[in-house]
Structure formats: structure tokens, C-alpha cells
Amino acid sequence: TGKCYHTFRGHSAEIVCLSFNPQSTLVATGSMDTTAKLWDIEKGEEVATLSGHSAEIIALSFNTTGDRIITGSFDHTVAVWDVATGREQNILIKMPTNNNIGGKYELLWDAVTGAHIATLAGHSDEVLDVCFDYAGQRVATASADGSARVYNAETKQCIAKLEGHEDEISKVS
């Protein structure tokens, strides 16, 4: 019908990312105001504010069971949050700001330990987005170089290079 059921208000700056939990009962929003918020879809109410990053939150996603959410920030950290309490569980990654890798590579990390697993190379410009397929067997990347790539998550090898856009690709799903 196109009817708007709820308008979620509460961030003090632009919302730049969002994600639904697997049960479609919550939506999470990440903002330039350095916070993420969890919203009850049915009630249209804020459930929790996730505070702890010192810079903009630019990416977020629920885990497959919906009891944790992971956020990525311009403060060079990735944090894991407990959905039930809204509390930060741990900081997985603290990236150095002066590394030699830049943004042309996608780094894979173990979500439990925070250990670096692999570096996926191939793009000639910044990697702007990344996602796993639902089975966790493939990783897709989008880049400012105008291409997308698909990698085998086990072997870390590029299995497809998708070209044809004239400008950057900012999202992949």
C-alpha cells in the first residue's frame, strides 16, 4: 500500500546505514552522530542507543541469530554489541590510521577473537562496501574503482570480477 507505519526520530545527525534483524522485529540505524540505535518495528519505539564509538558509524549488521550487532566506525574500530542489553561486548579491531594497506584491500577478521585472517587484494581504489552471502561461502566487495569482486571465503581467492559501471560502486548485497 505504500503506507508509512512509523517514522523513527532520535539521531542528532544523518543516518548512513541500517539493518533489519533476522526476525524482522528490530531495525538498527547507524549515524554520523557516533551512535547506533535499535528500534522496535511494530511499536515504532527506540529500544536502545549503542554509544561508545568516537566517530561516525558507517556500517552495521546483525549476526545470523539476531542477538548481536556489529558496528564499524570512522574511529577505526569494529564493535560487537549485545542486542538484549544494548551494551558493548568487545572491540574486535583497532586499525592503525597510518597503515600501508590503505583502502584498496579488504581485511578479514575472526569475529570472536579479533585475529586478522586474510587480506583480499585486487581493487585499484578504495573498498566502499563488503558483505558475505547467506551461507558464508563468498565475500562480495564494492569499490571506488567501479568494480565489484566476489571472493571464495575459504580459499580467499577472487572468483569473479564484475565490471561495467562508469563510476564507483558504493554498496553491494
Q: What is the pLDDT of residues 144-154, one digit of tens each?
A: 999 999 999 89
| pLDDT of 95 | 59
Domain annotation covers residue 105: no
| pLDDT of 98 | 45
Using only C-alpha atoms, what is the Rg of the chain? Answer: 17
The pLDDT tens digits of the residues spanning 27-83 come to: 999 999 999 999 999 999 999 999 999 999 988 989 888 999 999 888 888 888 999
Checking if the pLDDT of 157 tops 90, the result is yes
Average pLDDT (86-100) is 67
Domain, as residue range, for 67: 15-96+111-163
Confidence band for 94, pLDDT divided at 50, 70 and 90: low
- Which CATH number does the domain housing residue 68 bear? 2.130.10.10
| pLDDT of 101 | 44
Of 95 and 117, the one with more pLDDT: 117
Name the pTM for this structure.
0.71
Domain annotation covers residue 103: no
For the chain, the domain total comes to 1
What mean pLDDT is reported for the chain? Answer: 87
Domain annotation covers residue 5: no
E runs forming strands in 41-167? 45-50, 57-62, 68-73, 77-82, 88-94, 106-109, 116-120, 127-132, 138-143, 148-152, 158-162
